[in-house]
C-alpha cells in the first residue's frame, strides 16, 4: 500500500510543480511585455524586477500547494475550501497594484500579473486535488 501511495503522490507533485512553473512563465512574460512597452513597474516606490516576479510567483505557488495539501488531510471538501481561500487571497493581493503602482500602465501590468498567476494556479492546482479515500 505504501508503494501505491508513493507512486500516486509523485505524479501529483510533478503536476503541481508544473503549474507553478507555468504561472511563473506567464507572470514573467507579462513583466517582459510591460517593460518592453515602457510601463513603469514600480509599486510603493520600489521597482518590480524580474527576479522579484519569479520569486513571488514561486513562493505563492508553493504556499498554495502547501495549503491544498493540508486541507486534503483535514477535510473532504479540500478543493472547495482551498478555492475559496485562493480567490480571497487573489482579491486581497489586487490591493497592492491598485493602491501602490505609480502609473496607470503600471497598475494594469501588475494587476495582470496577479490575475494571470491566479488564472493558472487556481484551476491548475484545483485539478490535482486528491479525491477522498472514504
| Sequence spans of domains, the chain | 2-127
What is the length of the chain? 134
Under 8 Å CB-to-CB from 113, ≥6 apart: which residues? 27, 30, 31, 53, 97
Top pLDDT among 133 and 23 is at: 23
Q: What is the pLDDT of residue 87?
A: 98
Say whether pLDDT at 113 is over 50.
yes
State pTM to two decimals: 0.87
Q: What is the pLDDT of residue 114?
A: 96
25: confidence class by pLDDT, cuts 50, 70, 90: very high
74-84 residue pLDDT tens: 999 999 999 99
Q: What is the pLDDT of residue 132?
A: 44
Amino acid at each position: 500500500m505504501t508503494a501505491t501511495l508513493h507512486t500516486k503522490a509523485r505524479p501529483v507533485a510533478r503536476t503541481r510543480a508544473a503549474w507553478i512553473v507555468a504561472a511563473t512563465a506567464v507572470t514573467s512574460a507579462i513583466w517582459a511585455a510591460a517593460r518592453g512597452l515602457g510601463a513603469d513597474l514600480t509599486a510603493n516606490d520600489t521597482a518590480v524586477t524580474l527576479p522579484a516576479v519569479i520569486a513571488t510567483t514561486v513562493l505563492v505557488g508553493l504556499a498554495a500547494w502547501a495549503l491544498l495539501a493540508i486541507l486534503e488531510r483535514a477535510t473532504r471538501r479540500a478543493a472547495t475550501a482551498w478555492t475559496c481561500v485562493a480567490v480571497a487571497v487573489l482579491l486581497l493581493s489586487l490591493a497592492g497594484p491598485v493602491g501602490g503602482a505609480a502609473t496607470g500602465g503600471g497598475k494594469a501590468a501588475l494587476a495582470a500579473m496577479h490575475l494571470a498567476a491566479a488564472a493558472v494556479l487556481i484551476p491548475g492546482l484545483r485539478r490535482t486535488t486528491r479525491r477522498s479515500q472514504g
